[in-house]
Amino acid sequence: MPGLVELAYTTAGGAVGAVVTNYFAKHQERRQLRGTVMEALYTVAAVPGSVCALAPGAAPIPPVPGRPRSIAAELGLSVRLGEEASADSAFRKALATYMVAALAAGIPRVAMDFAAGAYERELECEVLRLIDAEAGNPLGAATAELLAACVSYRKSATGLLLALLWHPRRSRPRMRSRIRGLRAEVGSLGELQEAAYRRLLASERTAALAERLKSTTEPDT
């Protein structure tokens, strides 16, 4: 039978061992959660850069107040990543996986929403660029300005997300100020997007592009 001193050491050793085991288990879990978020984020990020073609879509859908605009939907077009893949469907699927992973990793909702919104805007800016190019560049130099602003905003939004993911204790005290900066940045980007919408939708070349695509390609079924 162990003595009191031996029992004390045995009990303490067991407690320390449990703490160490628990620490490493949680550390491994955090690493796995972070890896899942990163993988999901890469999948979301791949969609805007894969936009490559326009095709007929459903009937034109007017913009809805309070919802992100889609110029493709307003023109009655769909956007393709390839011959069959829909950019919108691929993005929504990737976004759902990302949101689940970010929530599981404990990312504050406001930060994960800003990052998701940044990629959504990047996708829309790529669609604007594609339509502008196919219509003969009625936007002129405004396309480059729009894309540069979009990339800058995306970097800021994902920068906050990654800081909270990898260095949460150090990043949380500065989160509110960074969110304020993101709101200002996305406001400026939104103004550029609205200007691009107006110019493209008012352009006869854009209207001619939409009509040409609808007349030469069968619509989606």
Mean pLDDT, the chain, whole residue set = 86
The rounded distance, in Å, linking the Cα atoms of 146 and 40 is: 26
Q: Poorest-confidence range of 1-15, 132-146, 152-166?
A: 1-15
Q: What is the mean pLDDT of residues 10-37?
A: 59
Predicted pLDDT of residue 67: 83
Q: What is the mean pLDDT of residues 135-144?
A: 95
Report the percentage of the chain scoring pLDDT > 90. Answer: 72
DSSP-derived letter for residue 78 is E
Predicted pLDDT of residue 9: 41
Token representation of residue 114: 């800003």
Task: Give the C-alpha distances (Å, rounded to integers) separating 60 from 63, 75, 210.
Answer: 10, 5, 10
Specify the higher pLDDT residue, 151 or 8. 151
Task: Give the C-alpha distances (Å, rounded to integers) separating 196 from 158, 190, 201.
Answer: 24, 10, 8
Cα-Cα-Cα-Cα dihedral of 124, 127, 129, 131, to 10°?
Answer: -140
Specify the higher pLDDT residue, 4 or 148. 148
* Residue 57 pLDDT level (bands cut at 50, 70, 90): confident
In this predicted structure, the answer to whether residue 144 has a pLDDT above a threshold of 60 is yes
The rounded distance, in Å, linking the Cα atoms of 219 and 221 is: 6
The rounded distance, in Å, linking the Cα atoms of 11 and 149 is: 60
In this predicted structure, the answer to whether residue 114 has a pLDDT above a threshold of 50 is yes
Report the percentage of the chain scoring pLDDT > 70. Answer: 84
Predicted pLDDT of residue 66: 80
pTM for this prediction? 0.83
* Residue 59 pLDDT level (bands cut at 50, 70, 90): confident
Q: Are strands 77-80 and 53-56 parallel, antiparallel or unpaired?
A: antiparallel
